[in-house]
Amino acid sequence: MRKATPTPVTGIAVGLALLLAGCGDSHPISAPSSSGVVAAPAGSAAAAYVPAKGAFAVVTPDMLPRSYEPSGKCNLDAIDGAPVGSKPLPRDSSVLFAGWAGANDGSAVPTEVTIVLHGAQNFAIRASTGAPRPDVAAANHMPALANSGYAINASMAAVSSGSYGVELHFKAGGKAWRCESKHAVMVN
């Protein structure tokens, strides 16, 4: 039997996929589960990450820090396992938001992120991090990002219909960070 050898084109494609996995406008490079996070390997010591449940609420003044550093180390990878913005989000259901976040230098991962929908009125929800994201750590060459993933089943009931920009707020490495995604979502 002949052994398959990778071609230069295959190597370039794999390298490009790894590079894009660490960008703020990327999609997961591995075949993600419906949660958009990678499960811990069987028999590993890592605890299984279970997406939280919650509901978006109107942003209050105490929800977000008044000053923050801009960050490029985050992403909202998928909503209900599909690319962000590819379909409208129904107000009468819960949807699964999944992605990752970390300090700009990759030295620290937040314990939680606040997902903010910016529109005529702003809405937010908090999600715990800790989901395994070895793809993000590898793509960024930052081992500390290995458990930078988050996922939350979020009720959309309180969110008004309309178009929203999406950003993440979090604390990591002793600083408050604000990470704007290049994504927009439509709620109907």
State pLDDT tens for residues 42-86.
444 456 899 999 999 999 988 888 889 887 689 999 999 999 999
pLDDT value at position 48? 84
Residue 1 lies in a domain: no
Of 123, 116, 126, 139, residue with least CA distance to 51: 126
Percentage with pLDDT > 70 across the chain: 74
Distances, alpha carbon 90 to alpha carbons 64, 80, 155, 167, in Å: 25, 12, 9, 20
Residue 127 structural domain: 8-40+47-187
**Band (188; pLDDT cuts 50, 70, 90):** very high
Residue 2 lies in a domain: no
Which position has the token pair 């959309």? 156
pLDDT tops 80 at residue 31: no
Which position has the token pair 């219909």? 161
- Give the number of domains in the chain: 1
Residue 16 lies in a domain: yes
The torsion defined by the Cα of 79, 173, 50 and 95, in degrees rounded to 10, comes to -20
Residue 57 lies in a domain: yes
Residue 3 lies in a domain: no
pLDDT tens figures, 78-114: 999 999 999 999 999 999 999 999 999 889 999 999 9
pLDDT value at position 141? 93
Structure tokens at 169: 């707020």
Alpha-carbon torsion (71, 18, 36, 111), positive or negative: negative
pLDDT value at position 61? 84
State how far the Cα of 180 lies from the Cα of 177, in Å rounded to an integer: 10
Give pTM, 2 decimals. Answer: 0.77
CB-based contacts of 39: which residues, under 8 Å, 6+ apart? 33, 48, 49, 132
